[in-house]
Amino acid sequence: MKQSILKQLTGSVERCTFRADEPMSAHTTFRIGGSAALFCLPETPDALIALLRFCRGEGVRFMIIGKGSNLLFSDKGFDGAVISTAAMDRITLDGTRVCADCGAALSRVSAMAAEADLAGLEFAHGIPGSVGGAVFMNAGAYGGEMAHVVESARVLFGDRIEDVPAQELRFSYRYSALQESGGIVLSADFRLVPGKKEESLLLIRDMDARRREKQPLDRGSAGSFFRRPKDGFAGALIEEAGLKGVSVGGAQVSPKHAGFIVNNGNATCEDVLKLRDLVVRTVREKSGIELEMEVRLAGDL
């Protein structure tokens, strides 16, 4: 069936790369995950739209990912098509507006803005995600978030493309209305302010240095694993519960920052989920606070 679908896709969707049995550990920052039956890499919005139309018409299950930075992918992989937007990465500047395709890396968008003497996106430089995923999740760091800088997003709803203003995205903590509507971000417009390249680059370097000092960037992870609870911080609660450095298989609560679960080289999705359950249970017993995952599960569980 895979070869038949691959043949049809290759003949009907232009400007798209296809691979069968692609390990998702190669496409997520956790470096965990079984194989996708099909892996698709469209280069343009038209290719993405054609690919989605094909999948829906042929009954092929699909899911869309960006940089895979907020995903824990199943050991079982995905018996369908994983569509990566990584090749859709055009960035254009127009005055104080920056328009970036969904697959563009936030680090690159932030750096280009700084080089153009535009301020406001410095906080995003160290977030290891794409524009589409960042808008979808309202990604943020060091006091900044997408809600502060996104002017609008071009969103695909079925076969219909709409320009959605920021207020209709209803941003809140790690949330946008896209999580309910099912819309797919094609690009986003960022409204920035005039700045000075030297000051922006200095701020970026300072934030990057703080990340290197405090976060386990040398290990596979998906960033902060748990959502910030109303009372306190997940990392502090986990450390107070005596769980810093605790391991299950190849998964470990980072000894450097307890808010991170890291892959020590051979972790499986199952290891991470068992460690998650241990952390949630222990923190609940110690503090009465119920931690919730910020990382999204993907694939066939």
Structure confidence at residue 155 (pLDDT):
97
One domain for residues 176 and 249:
no
CATH number at residue 48: 3.30.43.10
Residue type, 246: V
One domain for residues 166 and 252:
no
Per-block average pLDDT, block size 10, for the chain (301 residues)?
76 90 97 97 93 92 94 97 96 97 97 98 95 96 95 94 97 95 95 98 96 95 94 94 98 98 97 98 97 96 89
pTM: 0.91
Structure confidence at residue 184 (pLDDT):
95
Q: Considering 74, 110, 152, 224, which one is annotated as catalytic?
A: 224
Please list, in sequence order, all residues whose beta carbon lies within 8 angstroms of the beta carbon of residue 254, skipping any fewer than 6 positions away.
216, 219, 221, 244, 245, 260, 261, 262
Task: Domain of residue 147: give its range.
Answer: 91-200
One domain for residues 225 and 156:
no
Give the separation between CA 301 and CA 293, rounded to whole angstroms.
16
In a domain, 292, yes or no: yes
Q: What total number of domains does the chain contain?
A: 3
In a domain, 129, yes or no: yes
Tokens of 235: 């990392």
Structure confidence at residue 1 (pLDDT):
54
The verdict on whether 198 is a catalytic residue reads no
One domain for residues 77 and 150:
no
Please list, in sequence order, all residues whose beta carbon lies within 8 angstroms of the beta carbon of residue 289, skipping any fewer than 6 positions away.
229, 231, 232, 237, 283
Structure confidence at residue 12 (pLDDT):
80
The verdict on whether 224 is a catalytic residue reads yes
In a domain, 210, yes or no: no
Q: Considering 31, 69, 145, 174, which one is annotated as catalytic?
A: 174
One domain for residues 79 and 134:
no
Give the separation between CA 152 and CA 162, rounded to whole angstroms.
10
Structure confidence at residue 6 (pLDDT):
81
CATH number at residue 127: 3.30.465.10
One domain for residues 43 and 132:
no
In a domain, 176, yes or no: yes
Structure confidence at residue 80 (pLDDT):
95
One domain for residues 99 and 67:
no
Residue type, 6: L
The verdict on whether 290 is a catalytic residue reads no
What b/e string do you get for 207-240 counting C-beta neighbours within 10 Å, with b at 16 or more? beeebeeebbbebbbbbbbbebbeeeebbebbbe
In a domain, 209, yes or no: no
Structure confidence at residue 5 (pLDDT):
83
CATH number at residue 230: 3.90.78.10
